[in-house]
Amino acid sequence: MNIIRIITFAFGITHSIHAFPQDVSFYIQIEDPEIVPTSVTNESSDNVSFLAKTTELNELYSNYDISKFEIAFPTALTPSLINVYHVECDDKNLGIELSNRYKEKIPRLEFLEKPTPTYTPNDYSLESNQTNLDLTNAKEAWDYTLGLPIIDVAVSDTYFDLSHEDLSMTLVGGTNNPNIPTNVLPHGTAVAGLVGTITDNNIGLASVAFNSDLAVSTIRSDNEVLLLAQAGYRVINCSWMNSCIFSSTQEELYDEIKDVWGAIVVFGAGNASSQHCGNNNPSYPASYESNIAVTSVGHIKEIGTPGSPANNWKDVHEEIIGDSLSAHKHHQTMDICAPGYNVPTTDLMGSAGTSSGNYKGSWGTSFAAPQVSGALALILSINPCLSANEAVEILLMNADNSIYNIPENLQYIGRIGTGRLDVEASVAASVESATTYLEDMVISGNETIEDNYAIRIVNNVYIPSGSHISFRTRKGVTINSNFEVAAGAELTIDVNVNINCNCN
Amino acid sequence: MKSQKTLLKRSLRYACFICFISFTILLSTYSQLILDAGKDTAFCVNLYPDTMYVGSSILIENGTPPFSFAWECKVPKGLYSFYTASDILNDTTIRSPYIIFGPTITDSIMFYLHLSDDSKDTISDSLLVRFSQCICPLGYTVISLNQGDSIWLDAGVPDGKYVKYYYEPSYGLSNPDSSATWCKPDTTTDYNIVTIDTFGCVCSCHSYKIQVTPVSTREMNENIEDSLHPYVIGSSVVFRNNVGKEALVSVFSTDGKQLHTISTYQDRIELSKFNLGKGIFIILISLDNKRDYCMYLNNKL
């Protein structure tokens, strides 16, 4: 914990620091369409300008360089998402100003900051090209967090190579029995490698959850998932299914796991195999509302690139274009999709696994799901106080729904989830959920202001004399402009602190 | 004599009395309610499980009908609570209820059946039900082969829980009944690994997708890629030129000697493998004098 204590006796301090980048991006929920500007393209220059319906608004918009102002989630069904716009411009004051002027019509404003520069761990694509991490913007997400070990992630699967050079796993359930068919044996190790290998260790591969420790269990049952949730694991990955038939008792159990124990359970939804209840039908427990059902998209080749026998085009659901049977499961209760065809991951060490080495390519929603689990670990590592529902909302709201604009995906609209996993966007939204913005206010008396990620002093914040104010946060306090601590006031800034919260 | 007769009478009287007592005890023993809830059972559970009845082989002896039944069980639900029979069975008060929930939470349940008759006599027995659930991991391995190539599939030797492994379908397998077999399909085929456990339950999980690239017919278009085609199926190698441009097909021996040259705008170019002879050949295809594609051909005749 780092503490900065500022006690002013004779002089006040005033900061005017522009700490925010010029390119800013935010979500803004606007309930009145009159406020939303229309984009107009200048035919000669191809420049886009934004025109509003009132002079007052036009004056406001003209003060900013706006590059994007459009519906964020055109296919969303949730009422609170329908009127959310994604705005990119040169100054976040546009969002703040809009929000202040039309408070009643703008219930939500969330900033999405782009981190720069991007940090690349030394084992990124070391053993194999990790195009799955490129596609899901995992690298950019690591600028916000490296998956603090405060978030426990559990994996329920077949067998785990506990001595793998690139995995840190603790067996917490079942026995690690190798007496299963040799082609099923590597499954657990491969799944674990996509949640969180030891990253930045110059060995093997990087993975989404970066440095999250993994608890692993070889018991694949509903009760084991409940036990893991009760043990405090907040993200539980299950790359298996156990039924094609809905059960209200089973559904209640998973409701309890999420609502009472605060755990998010991520399931592979199933593959093209006829054994998985059919390609177009739900499978369970994946399809219960409390759980996250994950299906696959490609991630290796650009759209249009020839390939034989598989295409594996980025963001396209079918692995072989035109062959719906090459696509993993798709149906209305799907939540999200992630790379699931030929995804590089860990294999059993040596020649014991599928490949002759320690790493391999893997196919199946088994391997799409753990990337989503890893992303949830990052989201929660930013803000451990998020409830399971809030974390899931962040994950699904920030999935990239532009995949539905791809012609090859048109036949699957609404059946491969809210979009493709976007780790960076999800983590950025989590950052916003854990950041307190202070503006136009006097903070007096004895007060502690705390938030899990950061505190941002936007403008016009004053701490009068005699006040004892404490800012507590993990990442830090950013001062934008006009922050004054009067003489005789005391300001304490604690950073690198974990904020207590009742996560359940 | 008199005393002997009296003694005999008394003895007979005692004997009768003992007989009466014994008969009464026997009667009372025979009328006791007897219950056998059946032998321990194992159910094979798949994704669409058959209805699993408990108590289908209950044996009741003696007692006065009608009988009433009460099924009980206690299955841990996590750390702090339990599922009871009403969560597990469709009806806990009938002779042979069926299981509505359970195999996904535990691999065995001990049921207790309490039976009472019209005379309020009661008796209990237990019944252990085991589940062998087929839970497939949702991943598979993809192996790409050229048509005519084969691959060795080996699931290992069953041990412990399992008694047998094999692959299905049997198409293209040299030893379909074995856990280790050569696999040589002519078309792309999904193979499942099938396991049979000690209960006799069969579980089939998607395991391999063997992607087979045909080698006897080659589509020739702008997107043609360099390929290695070691074996030829059929009597000839056919190239299809659907680009509508001139194709120049040259056949070389491995020492660089040009054996054949065909220049054509035709959409079908056929090389008889009998004309080529046995051996390895290099086939060079130039399309519209712009791009060259190379293929290797192992002609085994």
Residue B190 has pLDDT above 60, yes or no: yes
Residue B225 has pLDDT above 50, yes or no: no
CATH architecture assignment, domain B37-133:
Sandwich (2.60)
Name the pairing type of β-strands A359-362 and A343-346.
antiparallel
In chain B, residues with a C-beta closer than 8 Å to the C-beta of A221 are 104-107
Mean pLDDT of chain B: 81
Residues A418 and A450 in one domain: no
Interface of A with B in 45-74 (CB under 8 A): none
Contact between A183 and B104 using a beta-carbon 8 Å cutoff: no
Residue B122 has pLDDT above 80, yes or no: yes
* Edge-to-edge order in the sheet of strand A66-71: A66-71, A84-89, A24-29, A108-112
Does residue A304 sit at the B interface (CB-CB below 8 Å)? no
Determine which of A110-124, A181-195, A324-338, B30-44 has the lowest per-residue pLDDT on average. Answer: A110-124
Q: What is chain B's alpha carbon radius of gyration, rounded to the nearest angstrom?
A: 38
Residue B26 has pLDDT above 60, yes or no: no
Mean pLDDT of chain A: 88
**Residue B225 distance to chain A (closest CA, Å):** 9
Q: Which residues contact B81 (CB under 8 A, 6 or more apart)?
A: none
Residue B215: predicted pLDDT? 65
In a domain, A124, yes or no: no
In a domain, A249, yes or no: yes
In a domain, A326, yes or no: yes
Contact between B141 and A240 using a beta-carbon 8 Å cutoff: no
**Banded pLDDT at A295 (limits 50, 70, 90):** very high
Residue B12 has pLDDT above 80, yes or no: no
Is the full-model pTM beyond 0.80? no
Does residue A138 sit at the B interface (CB-CB below 8 Å)? no
Does residue A502 sit at the B interface (CB-CB below 8 Å)? no
Determine which of A1-15, A42-56, A147-161, A199-213 has the lowest per-residue pLDDT on average. Answer: A1-15
In a domain, A503, yes or no: no
Residues A350 and A271 in one domain: yes
Of A278 and B30, more confident: A278
Residues A292 and A418 in one domain: yes
Residue B241: predicted pLDDT? 65
Residue A69 has pLDDT above 50, yes or no: yes
pLDDT digits (tens, 9 = 90+) for A17-38: 323 334 678 889 999 999 999 8
Domain count along chain A: 3
Residue B255: predicted pLDDT? 77
Residues A185 and A280 in one domain: yes
Does residue A356 sit at the B interface (CB-CB below 8 Å)? no
Residues A144 and A95 in one domain: no
Residues A469 and A428 in one domain: no
In chain B, residues with a C-beta closer than 8 Å to the C-beta of A276 are 47, 136, 138, 206
**Residue A248 distance to chain B (closest CA, Å):** 9
Residue A314 has pLDDT above 90, yes or no: yes
Is this prediction's ipTM beyond 0.90?
Answer: no
**Banded pLDDT at B169 (limits 50, 70, 90):** very high
Residues A97 and A227 in one domain: no
In a domain, A126, yes or no: no
Residue B292: predicted pLDDT? 63
Do domains B37-133 and B141-213 share one topology? The answer is yes
Of A379 and A476, more confident: A379
Residues A422 and A440 in one domain: no
pLDDT digits (tens, 9 = 90+) for A320-371: 999 998 999 999 999 999 999 999 999 999 988 888 889 999 999 999 999 9
| Tokens at A213, concatenated | 């420790």
In a domain, A252, yes or no: yes
Contact between A241 and B47 using a beta-carbon 8 Å cutoff: yes
Does residue A173 sit at the B interface (CB-CB below 8 Å)? no
**Residue A370 distance to chain B (closest CA, Å):** 12
Please tell me which residue of chain A has the smallest CA distance to B214.
A309
pLDDT digits (tens, 9 = 90+) for A385-408: 999 999 999 999 999 999 999 999
In a domain, A122, yes or no: no
Indicate the class that CATH gives domain B217-299. Answer: mainly beta
Residues A90 and A172 in one domain: no
Residues A81 and A157 in one domain: no
Residue B23: predicted pLDDT? 43
Residues A36 and A165 in one domain: no
Which fold is adopted by the domain B141-213? Answer: Immunoglobulin-like (2.60.40)
**Banded pLDDT at A65 (limits 50, 70, 90):** confident
Residue A309: predicted pLDDT? 74
In a domain, A118, yes or no: no
Q: Which residues contact A256 (CB under 8 A, 6 or more apart)?
A: A226
Residue B216: predicted pLDDT? 52
Domains of chain B, residue spans: 37-133, 141-213, 217-299
Domain boundary among A432, A456, A479: A432
Interface test with B, best of A160, A239, A243 (most B CBs within 10 A): A243
Q: By C-alpha distance, which of A497, A441, A487 is closest to A467?
A: A487
Contact between B138 and A306 using a beta-carbon 8 Å cutoff: no
Contact between A222 and B162 using a beta-carbon 8 Å cutoff: no
Average the pLDDT over B235-261 and give the result.
Answer: 73
- Spacing of C-alpha A470 from chain mean position: 30
Average the pLDDT over B95-124 and give the result.
Answer: 95
Residues A391 and A479 in one domain: no
Interface of A with B in 146-165 (CB under 8 A): 157-158
**Residue B160 distance to chain A (closest CA, Å):** 7
Please tell me which residue of chain A has the smallest CA distance to B133.
A242
Q: Which domain holds residue A330?
A: 131-432
